Chain A
Amino acid sequence: MIEVCITAAQTVTGLGTGLDPLFDGIMAGQSAVVPVERFATARYLSPNACCVPGVEAGGDSLLYPLLERLMEDFPAVPADCRLLLASTKGPVDLMERLQRGEAVDPAELAMERVLSRVAGRCGTTGPALNVNAACASSTLALARAAQMIALGRCEAALVVCLDLVSEFVFSGFSALQALSPTRCRPFDRNRDGLTLGEGGAALLLMSRERARREECKVLGVVAGWGAANDATHITAPARDACGLIQTVRQALARAGLTTDAIAAVSAHGTATPYNDQMEVTALRALFPGRNLPVHSVKGAIGHTLGAAGGIEAALALKCLEVGVLPPTVGLVEPDPEGVGLVSDAAQDINGDFVLSTNSGFGGVNAAVILGRGDA
């Protein structure tokens, strides 16, 4: 098996462009949750979301200025790099406009067009794929990119993760009674639903040998990955956390690690009652007797859907570098089962590996284990 390294990582979220504003903002307890101005919210459960400020669509989808901002300071990407996009709804704003009778080229709705445009902007020329596994899309894209490199199918892969705040998705979660009326409170005993967000992440993966040849600094390694389905419900997680437990065990086996090696967890932590309960159940089963540091970023930047796992993985690299797991913004009083795991304060990371997990509609669960990079 070929070792898989991450040589570049970038994010754009409601807290700004770049990992430093994201990390510093969460450390300071900031939240990007604000009233939505993009569409009327009077008939929905919540008026709030985390939009990326200052992004203008012009006549195009907001996806592309978001991509532009994401890639602005990203290092050059090898042309032979494979592209894996992770987006659940792509240019959903264009579909909304088309349905309202505005002049929109329908071809722009097809994901293959999106892939072509992303590849053009990023400078990749080979085959490209968009991974759709609901809110675990980017974690699975990372896993599949690592899989391709590990098997020697390619030497480098770029994972780009993007999703927008749209009325389409907002109305759906509202109809499902899943939106918090105010701001989400991950792992809180009084949590009352999620807050949507938008954002993006870009992660460049290379084999260790390719990274050495390109003289790239290694920010971290993708040590292991896993994915499993609950096979229980379309929109709700399995109460016994069977899928997530299987996923993490698979990732540990791939990494050749035991649970003792995991120093911290970047959880999905959407703040819906069922999701967070399921995650705590999984963590208690996987790490019995241990109070390892766990956090969720959703209270700070919202649930960014298909981009969530990419943003969280990029942040995890920063956390490993600094040795600190930021607080769970929005958490006031931990759910009794989560006491000792989650905190409204930063927690030290004493070890070399962070576990990052996501779950989503369709019973999907995915996990990656990220290891420390070059000092």
Chain B
Amino acid sequence: MSAYLNGIGWVTGTGCGMGSQGSELIFADLPLPALARRDVFAEPNQRFGRMSDYAKLGLAALAFALRDAGLESWSEKRPFGVVAGTRLGCLATDLDYQRTVLLEGGGLASPNLFAYTLANCFLGDAAIQFGLTGSLLAVNETQSAGLGALTMALDQLALKEEPVVLAGVCDLTPPEPLAGVAQFHPGAAFLVLGDAPGQRCYGSVSVAADGGIECNGTRVESMAELIAAALKER
């Protein structure tokens, strides 16, 4: 079971990037950039400023991935799917929202923040921004963050549920209570996977017989390794 890797985009401690720009290192133990609308979109975007940091991060990485694949622009909605792997999801937003609940017996709870207290909410923003009407979901994994999401995406392609599925990871820097507990490099990165090669194809991603993931024939254990293998091929 394999798919073509037609685009790569990311926002990590090394900055914002796309596969076509190349990079030696994507994920690093560095603070994430504070994203402004102009870092991601050339045109004004009324929603971006109101989004949570988690949603901005995920939406930006999806934007760069679609741009890299030449699929950012659209005129009709498209049945593309997204599977986003995440360790902590929107926990930072949850904590921010909960602080508003503690005031005035909950009377000042923020409806705007509440709308972002689901790990999949940035996918709703992505659906609106990019016209995506496939299956969009977030998954928390126990092993190899991101690769479970990737396998699920490959399954969707294999069943021909969608012609294009984006798979990746999205995590902010762990918020204070979990800073010492959850250890991983924060950031978001998404791959554009398709059932046909795109204008900028980085090769193929496949599921091996034992369930492991391979990129261009190289076995990978993480999303970072997968992207490195894809960019090396290029």
Q: Which residue of A lies closest to B111 (CB)?
A: A175
Contact of A150 with B159 in the complex, beta carbons under 8 Å:
yes
Contact of B133 with A246 in the complex, beta carbons under 8 Å:
yes
**Cβ of B25 under 8 Å from chain A:** no
Q: How far is the CA of A133 from the CA of B123 in the complex (A)?
A: 9
Scan residues 37-55 of chain A and give those whose CB is less than 8 A from a CB of chain B.
40, 42-44
Contact of A132 with B115 in the complex, beta carbons under 8 Å:
no
Scan residues 89-141 of chain B and give those whose CB is less than 8 A from a CB of chain A.
89, 91, 94-95, 97-99, 101-102, 104-107, 109-111, 114-115, 117-121, 123-125, 127-128, 131-141
Contact of B177 with A109 in the complex, beta carbons under 8 Å:
yes
**Cβ of A250 under 8 Å from chain B:** yes
**Cβ of B221 under 8 Å from chain A:** no
Nearest Cβ on chain B to A142's Cβ, whole angstroms = 12
The one of B104, B105, B111, B135 that contacts A227, using a Cβ cutoff of 8 Å:
B135
Nearest Cβ on chain B to A106's Cβ, whole angstroms = 4
Q: How far is the CA of A106 from the CA of B187 in the complex (A)?
A: 21
**Cβ of A285 under 8 Å from chain B:** no
Q: How far is the CA of A366 from the CA of B148 in the complex (A)?
A: 20
Chain A positions within 8 Å of B109 at CB level = 171-172, 174-175
Q: How far is the CA of A172 from the CA of B182 in the complex (A)?
A: 27
Nearest Cβ on chain A to B107's Cβ, whole angstroms = 4
**Cβ of B178 under 8 Å from chain A:** yes
0/1 interface trace, chain A 335-363, chain B, CB 8 Å (1 if under): 00000000000000000000000000111
With A42-B105, A110-B178, A228-B135 as given contacts, are A363 and B155 in contact (CB-CB < 8 Å)?
no
Contact of A115 with B140 in the complex, beta carbons under 8 Å:
yes
Contact of B134 with A119 in the complex, beta carbons under 8 Å:
no
Q: Which residue of A lies closest to B90 (CB)?
A: A132
The one of B77, B139, B211 that contacts A231, using a Cβ cutoff of 8 Å:
B77
The one of B101, B107, B139, B178 that contacts A131, using a Cβ cutoff of 8 Å:
B139
Contact of A231 with B135 in the complex, beta carbons under 8 Å:
no
Q: Which residue of A lies closest to B159 (CB)?
A: A147
Nearest Cβ on chain B to A312's Cβ, whole angstroms = 18
Contact of A127 with B142 in the complex, beta carbons under 8 Å:
yes
0/1 interface trace, chain A 109-152, chain B, CB 8 Å (1 if under): 11110011001000000011111111001001000100110110
Contact of B123 with A115 in the complex, beta carbons under 8 Å:
no
**Cβ of A96 under 8 Å from chain B:** yes
Contact of A132 with B94 in the complex, beta carbons under 8 Å:
no
Contact of B181 with A130 in the complex, beta carbons under 8 Å:
no
Q: How far is the CA of A112 from the CA of B117 in the complex (A)?
A: 17
Nearest Cβ on chain B to A47's Cβ, whole angstroms = 13
The one of A43, A229, A246 that contacts B106, using a Cβ cutoff of 8 Å:
A43
Contact of A43 with B107 in the complex, beta carbons under 8 Å:
yes
Q: Which residue of B lies closest to A85 (CB)?
A: B140
With A172-B97, A233-B128 as given contacts, are A106 and B139 in contact (CB-CB < 8 Å)?
no
Scan residues 138-192 of chain A and give those whose CB is less than 8 A from a CB of chain B.
140, 144, 147-148, 150-151, 153, 167-168, 170-176
Q: Which residue of A lies closest to B99 (CB)?
A: A99
Q: How far is the CA of A107 from the CA of B97 in the complex (A)?
A: 19
Q: Which of B99, B139, B182 has the most CB of A within 10 A?
A: B139
20 additional contacts (CB under 8 A) given A175-B109, A227-B134, A228-B134: A43-B104, A44-B106, A89-B94, A92-B94, A107-B182, A109-B177, A127-B142, A129-B148, A130-B140, A144-B152, A168-B94, A171-B101, A171-B114, A176-B111, A176-B114, A229-B135, A230-B127, A231-B133, A234-B128, A362-B123
**Can you list 22 residue pairs at the A/B interface with Cβ under 8 Å?**
A40-B105, A43-B104, A43-B106, A95-B95, A109-B91, A116-B142, A132-B118, A133-B136, A134-B120, A151-B1, A151-B159, A167-B106, A171-B109, A172-B111, A175-B111, A175-B114, A176-B115, A226-B161, A227-B135, A246-B133, A362-B124, A363-B124
Q: Which residues of A contact B (CB under 8 A)?
A: 40, 42-44, 88-89, 92, 95-96, 98-100, 106-107, 109-112, 115-116, 119, 127-134, 137, 140, 144, 147-148, 150-151, 153, 167-168, 170-176, 226-235, 242-243, 246, 250, 254, 361-364, 366
